[in-house]
Copies of this chain bind each other. A is one copy, B any other.
Amino acid sequence: MNFPTISRPQIQSAALNQQFVRNCWYVIAWDHEIPADGLFARTVLNEPIILFRTAQGITALEDRCCHRLAPLSKGRKEGDAVRCGYHGLKFDGAGQCIEIPGQANIPATARVRKYPLVVRNKWVFVWMGDVDKVDESLLPDNYSCDSPEWRNIPGYLHYDTNQMLICDNLLDFSHLSYTHEKTLGGSPAIAQSKARIERLDGPGPRGIRVSREVPDVPSPPFYNRFKNYTTNINRWFVYDFVLPGTLLMQSGGRPVGAAPDDNSDAVILHSCQTVTPETDHSTHYFFQQSHRSDTGNAEITQKIYDMLVLAFEEDRQMITAQAAMIATDPTHKMIPIAADAALNQFRQLVRRMVEAEQPQV
Contact = CB atoms under 8 A, between A and B. Distances in A.
Given A87-B174, A101-B191, A8 B9 contact: no
Interface stretch (A30-38, A78-86, A131-139, A247-255): A78-86
A103 B153 CA distance: 37
Contacts of A280: 8-9
Given A8-B7, A279-B2, A101 B177 contact: yes
Contact of A75 (B85, B88, B178): B178
Interface in A252-296: 278-282
Interface stretch (A141-149, A222-230, A324-332, A353-361): A324-332
Given A87-B174, A100-B337, A281 B6 contact: yes
A157 interface: no
Interface stretch (A42-50, A196-204, A302-310): A42-50
Interface residues of A, number: 79
A188 interface: yes
Given A67-B337, A339-B102, A328 B7 contact: no
Contacts of A103: 337-339
Contacts of A179: 85-86
Contacts of A326: 69
A323 B102 CA distance: 25
Given A86-B322, A178-B85, A69 B334 contact: yes
Given A1-B73, A69-B322, A88 B7 contact: no
Given A160-B6, A174-B101, A335-B66, A87 B191 contact: yes
What are the nearest 6 A-B pairs in CB distance?
A: A3-B324, A101-B191, A1-B41, A88-B178, A70-B322, A66-B335
